[in-house]
Structure 1
Amino acid sequence: MGKRQNILLERVSIMANKKMKTAVKSVKKQRTKKALKRTKVQSMENKKGVLFSIRAKIFLCFLVPILFLILVGVFSYKKAAAGMYDTFRDSNEQTINMANQYLDVSNSFIEAEALKYAFQSDLGKYMIGLYETDAVQRKTVINSVGSSIRASQAGNDFISNIHIVTEEDVQMLSTKAGGTVMGIYKDYKNEMLGYSDNGKKIPEWVDYHNTLDDTLGLKQSDYIMAYQTTPQSGKGFIVIDIKASAIKQFLDSLDMGEGSIIGFVTQSGREIISEKLPDGQESTRADGETVFYGQDFFNNLEDQQTTKEVSINGKSYLFFYSRMERTNAAVCALVPMEIVNGQADDIRNVTIAVVLIACVVAVLIGIIISTGIQKNMKRISGRLEEVAEGNLTTKVSVKGHDEFNNLAVVANHMINNNKKLVQKVSGATDTLESSAQEVRQASNVMKDYSVNIIQAIDEINDGITKQSEHAEECVRKTDTLSEEIQNVSSIAGQVEGLVSEAENMINHGMQMVQTLGERATKTTDVTIKVETSIEELKKESEIINEFVETITDISEQTNLLSLNASIEAARAGEAGRGFAVVAEEIRKLADHSAEAAGEIQNNVTHITDQTVNSVENAKQARDMVALQTEAVQEVVGVFDDMNQCMQKLFDALKEIVSSTEQADKEREDTLAAVKNISDIIAETAEGTKLVQSVAAKLQENVDTMNQTAQSLGDNMNDLKSEISVFKTE
């Protein structure tokens, strides 16, 4: 006992020394790992510093409002552009509509002026030639009307000329200077009827009057269209030309922006164009070239007023259209989209300039602020790095009176507290010495209990050896038993399969027997029907042949009779002509009878063919009987298979019985082995109680020793290594 205790003490002391050395090595390794980890963290922080530095965050803080400012600018630009577009569109639509109304009102004045002359009774009488015999009255009317139409021409800027178209033998009146011109009523009327839609009603507003132009020497460029009406007498026309230059002057007065094109378009396509060109720029439009009429965007316009965006020669325009109710002429305009979006583009440019200036100012302010912050952060981080390395005598100082100054004060307070803490920790060596004493006491207690543990372990080993032998025997028996049981289950499965197969075969045999019965019945019925059909067909064929022979004889006799009748009729001469016709009809009837007999003969041949088919049906019936015979043979084979399966079933049952008996014997051996194992386990349990009690006490002391040793090692090594780093004086 004494030798064992000494050996245990030596082992415990050796283990304690090893643990102390291991603790020292682990502390050194931990310090090395911490240093490596610190350098890695510093390098990672340096890499992250560029992205997550204060300067970057300050720039981000300044840029976020600028981004929102950009978004506000974009939104404002879009809203302003949309609002200006709508405002510009509405204002120009009002301009075009007002121009349309103005010209329409002017046209109404012209219509009123023409109607004034149409209802003058003296002028109406003059136009139909009532004053041709009265020279004084004729002269008075000519002077009065001439003065009146010249006054109307001078009083209305839109009137180019006024013409009074009379009968051919009456002098025409016109504001156009010239000699005496006689009337052209018929020629003028025929021309106007050509402009009519239906060729009957003369239109009130026309774009041309070629007959009048040729007669009076008028230029079509002087007028854009003309209004005409007839007097009360219905003979003649009062024609008022609309001055093209007045329309052009009016269009020039409309201002819809630089580069815009304003036009007056008549119903037949005559145009007056006003281009708002920049100073010094000349029009590129050729003479006679239309701007609106005939274009895709102008054709097929059904609405009286229209506004839409169009593209001409790759350039975008805003197209305005307004049609007059009286004349069906239209006032149109093309405004470049550059004018529409010009003010919005100015707002956009100003917004971009403001944003750029704000970005530059923000960058400059951010650089100034971030530079000051970085300098103070470098001062603080430099001093804190010295503290991390162990220098507790350093002091943190910054420039300024902001939050960094407060941070420096707090850092200095932290350094002073750490200095005091390190000084207190350095006096904790007494506690470590008492911990070492406790470790030695625990080792002595553990020495006393180790002997008992060894004895108990020996006894347990003996019991475990016996237990393992019996356990192995039990395992072998159990394996054998499991194999037999598996055989039994396999055989049982085969039996179930055979039983299922036997049932299926029996069912199949029953179905085939039923099928054989049905086939036999059908075969019998078919055979009977075939025989009956053949007999009936034979009888019918014989009867029909008899009828055919009779009909053939009758037709031959009839032919002979008709021939004799024809001969007698020929002898009789004129008196026998009627009888000859009858004889001829009888002969035809005999011929038809012969043809019918031939058709009947064909039908009999067809019936004979059907008889042959019936014979083939009889052969098929014999084939079906042969199939039934084969089916019966299959039934016999099926029942033979059933007998074999039943025999296999009985053999399998015998094997199951023998396997079951063997399993019972093995089960008894297994029970005996298990009983031996239980006895050994009972003996082992008694020794285990002693081991448990000793192990519990030993565990308590071992835990105490380990905790104390761990505390001792950690305190001594960590404190010595860590405190040696700090500098407090």
Structure 2
Amino acid sequence: MLKINTKNLFSKKYSKNEERKARHKGKTKRIRTVLFIAFAIPLMLIITLGTSAYQITSKAMVSKYEESTDSTMATMTLYLNSVFDNVKSRMAELVINENLNEYYNRYGKEFTLQSRDYYNSARDNFIALKSSLVYISDYSVFGEIGEAITSHDKTLPKSLYEDFKDKDEAKVFTESGNRKAWIGRHPYLDSITVSSDDRYAFSYVVKLQKNNGFIVIDIDKNFMEEVLNTMTFGNNSIKALVTGDGRIIAVQEKHHEDGKIDSKSWEPNNDFSTAIQSTLDAKEIGSTSITYQGEKWLLEYSPIGSTGIMLYSLIPSDVIMKDVNQVRNLTVIVIIFGLIIVGVIGIKLSSDISNELLTTCNSLTTVSQGDLRVEFKTKRKDEFHMLNISMNDMISNIRNLISGMKMFTDRVKNSAEGVVEVTSQVHNTMNNVSKSVDGILEGVIIQAGDTEQCANKMSDLSNSLNAIYENSQQMNETADKTLQTISTGQIMVEELNNKTQDTVSVTENLISEIMQVQKKTDNIREIIQYINNIADNTNLLSLNASIEAARAGEYGRGFAVVAEEIRKLADQSKQFSNQISIIIEDIGNVIKKTVTSAEKTGEHMLVQVSSLEDTNKVFNSINDQVSSLVGSLKLMQGSMTEMILSKENILDDICNTSSVSEESAAVSQESGDMIKKQLMSIALLTDEADRLKVEVKKLEESMCHFVIE
């Protein structure tokens, strides 16, 4: 039996939605927060990348700077070493010079022309030496004998050798036995030559071949400072040459705002001496980080050959980190601007998306409440525009679907009302048929009784015939009674024939009306097929809606609920149509059985009509015979014997008539039972049609929840 319950179909769902909203109230994350966090993560990665890049860059740049400084220091060391080697090689040539040795070993004891020639020749060699080597500022040659050779304007005393070898600057020779050495200062010689150590940076001192004199070659201080200036390490960087005896020649580099770079002599202090103390004995080039005057500095050092002189460069960390700091500052500025830009873009984007989604959610909430007049609007030209177009198309399709469903419910309602009306008509007709069949049954029963009575009468007639010989008067009376009985039988048979004809007509009408019901049933099947097509299209539409809702993500869940409800409604409609199909199929089967029974009833009725006609003929024959008997009563005596013989035939005919009457009664009883069954089936069909009408009304009330206009 079809059972459909659509009561509160949507109200329950809406109450569930309200409960769900209340349960999640206060727990919903704003997309602005999510997007901000999403933007913050790459920003943190960018900051981490910038920090890591700065650290790696700083290390690389410091390393490259140190490598560049080391390269510059190495190049300068090679250059200075070549300079000093050139001085040493030239001095080695002069030390073994014949004129020089002859003069200071033998001819210098007294003044002669020959000694003057050796002296002049030796002096010319030194003059040529100074003119060829621009980095030599002065020279002095003095021995135990002979006059001193010097580039100074002051004439040196003859006792200079004896006085010099006892001074501090000569101890490097007298105490260690060295024949040559680089010294930073020779104050005693400066006092004799009335000169100052500002003229030279350091001096190369060599003993004469027989250790009876010294050659002192001063290296020009200005030249050394210019050489140091060729090394550019940055503002405030210090470049210095330190001799083994502690003489420091240093310059400090200065960078001006106009882009000019200059250097000037720099007087070292105790902090500098302390800072380089640990590197004075270094045997190879190197670098270290030191703290000088409270700041970090890079100290580069390199020994210059075997001279004992060290080349130093002292570079502030600020200079080294200048480019690194520029990278750091640029990175910080880019990150700050990135943060600002990303923040503004993120806030703007998240606000726009949040507003669009909130608007869409509000519209979807209105749709979920049944109002399908909502139109999704947006000013955006991106995916939201496409989403709104898709949702508008979907809402339009849903409106069309709901409109079609309403039209369908109207048609089903009209069909149900038509079915109710037809079944009522059929029910009334079947009631009339049942009453007619009951009347026929009563007539047949009466006919059977009359036939039996006729048989009894014929038996009496036989007795009368047997007694006719004795009492003809009694035969006349019996004949009169027989005529009356035959008249009554004829009337009853005629009435039974008429009722049978009515039964046949009613049966034909019943079959015709049942065929109309079958046509209506076929129409209902077409409507059910239309319902199934609508349900299938609704399922496809709800599937597309679910896909669109899934694309919308979190904010498409409300629309997914609507799509799910539509899908359930389509499934229920399909279930209802399937149940109706089953009912219609049952009705069709019942109708087929009814048609078959009605056709059988018609056939029996035709047989009954034929039997009644035969009975009527028999009664007519009896009437004729009895009339003839009454008319020829006088002749009856003569043919009495023949009548007695035909008595048995008449009794057989009457028995046959009684049998036919009994069969007609049985057929009428069977027809009555079948008609009652048909009445029960039609009553069931009427009940189902009434239920369908009620359920359609409920469906119509549920559909009225949606507003489409």
Residue 276 (structure 1) aligned to one of 253, 263, 270 = 253
State the distance in 1 between where 2:209 and 2:61 align: 54
Q: Which amino acid aligns with 2:107?
A: L
Aligned length: 426
Aligned to 2:19: 37
* Of 150, 171, 191, the match for 1:174: 150
Q: Residue 104 of structure 2 corresponds to which residue in structure 1?
A: 127
Q: What are the within-5 Å matches in structure 2 for residues 671-682 of structure 1? A: none
Matching of residue 337 in structure 1 with residue 317 in structure 2: yes
Following superposition, the deviation at residue 35 of structure 1 comes to 6.9
1:376 Cα deviation from its structure 2 partner: 4.5
Q: Deviations over 1:135-180 (max 9, x none)?
A: 111222333333332332233222122111111x532221111235
Q: Deviation at 1:372?
A: 5.2
Name the structure 1 match of 2:160.
184
SS in 1 for 2:154: coil
The match for 1:267 is 244
Across the aligned residues of Structure 1 and Structure 2, the Cα RMSD in angstroms comes to 4.4
Distance in 2 between residues matched to 1:64 and 1:197, nearest whole Å: 76
Q: Which residue of 1 aligns with 2:132?
A: 155
SS of the residue 1:162 aligns to: strand
Structure 1 residue 388 and structure 2 residue 368: aligned?
Answer: yes
- Unaligned stretches of 5+ in structure 1? 1-22, 436-710
State the shift of 1:78 in Å: 3.3
| Residues 215-614 of structure 1: pairs in structure 2 closer than 5 A | 215-279=192-256, 289-290=269-270, 292-295=272-275, 298-299=278-279, 301-366=281-346, 369-370=349-350, 373-374=353-354, 376-399=356-379, 400=381, 401-417=385-401
What is the rounded CA distance, in whole Å, between the counterparts of 1:219 and 1:395 in structure 2? Answer: 101
**SS where residue 293 of structure 1 aligns?**
helix
369 and 406 in structure 1: CA distance in 2 versus 1, 3 angstrom threshold:
farther
Mapped to 2, the partners of 1:318 and 1:718 lie a distance apart of 94
Return closer, same or farther for 1:424/1:108 CA change in 2, 3 Å cut-off. same
Q: Distance in 2 between matches of 1:359 and 1:287?
A: 49
Give, as a single letter, the amino acid of the residue that structure 2 aligns with 1:94. S
For 1:409, give the aligned amino acid.
Answer: D
- Structure-2 residue corresponding to 1:562: none
CA deviation map 1:248-301 (0-9, x unaligned):
222123211112111111112110111113449999999562564332664565
- The TM-score, its normalising length taken from structure 2, stands at 0.51
**AA at the equivalent of 2:152:** K
Structure-2 residue corresponding to 1:82: 59
Confirm or deny: 8 A CA contact 2:299 2:314 kept in the other structure. Answer: yes
The amino acid across from 1:100 in the alignment is T
Match of 1:544 in 2: none
Q: Unaligned stretches of 5+ in structure 2?
A: 418-575, 581-690
Partner secondary structure for residue 380 of structure 1 = helix
Q: Does 1:117 align with 2:94?
A: yes
Using the size of structure 1 for normalisation, the TM-score is: 0.50
Distance 2:402 2:276 in 1: 91
SS at match of 2:289: strand
What percent of counterpart residues are identical? 19
**One-letter code aligned to 1:151:** A
Change (3 A) 1:414 1:317: farther
**Cα shift at 1:331:** 0.6
**Secondary structure of 2:146's match?**
coil
- The 3-state SS of whatever aligns with 2:185 is coil
**The structure with more radius of gyration:** 2
Aligned to 1:101: 78
CA distance in 2, matches of 1:26, 1:395: 27
CA contact (8 A) 2:363 2:376 kept: yes
> Which residue identity lines up with residue 87 of structure 1 in the other structure?
K
Question: Does the Cα contact within 8 Å between 1:117 and 1:238 map onto a contact in 2?
Answer: no
| Partner of residue 530, structure 2 | none
Q: Which moved more, 1:422-431 or 1:116-125?
A: 422-431
2:275 is paired with a residue of what secondary structure? coil
Q: Is the 8 A contact 1:398 1:408 kept in 2?
A: no
**What SS does the aligned partner of 1:228 have?**
strand
Query: In 2, Cα distance between the equivalents of 1:28 and 1:57?
Result: 34
Task: Tell me how far apart the structure 2 counterparts of residues 360 and 288 of structure 1 sit (CA, whole Å).
Answer: 49
Conservation of the 8 A alpha-carbon contact between 2:234 and 2:255: no
Superposition deviation, residue 215 in structure 1: 3.2
Q: Tell me: CA distance 1:312–1:282, structure 2 relative to 1, closer, same or farther (3 Å).
A: farther
Q: Within 2, Cα distance between the matches of 1:414 and 1:242?
A: 104
SS of residue paired to 1:152 = helix
Alpha-carbon distance in structure 2 between the residues aligned to 1:358 and 1:148: 73
**Cα distance 1:37–1:288, how it changes in 2: closer, same or farther (>3 A)?**
closer
CA gap 1:124/1:97 in 2 versus in 1, 3 angstroms: same
8 Å contact from structure 1 (residues 309, 319) kept in 2: yes
Distance 1:198 1:321 in 2: 29
Q: Secondary structure at the match of 1:310?
A: strand
- Note closer, same or farther for the CA distance 1:376–1:308 as it changes in structure 2 (3 Å cut): same
Do structure 1's residue 145 and structure 2's residue 129 form an aligned pair? Answer: no
Residues 43-89 of structure 1 deviation map (CA, whole Å, 9 limit, x = unaligned): 33xx5242xx2x45555665555555444444443333233222211
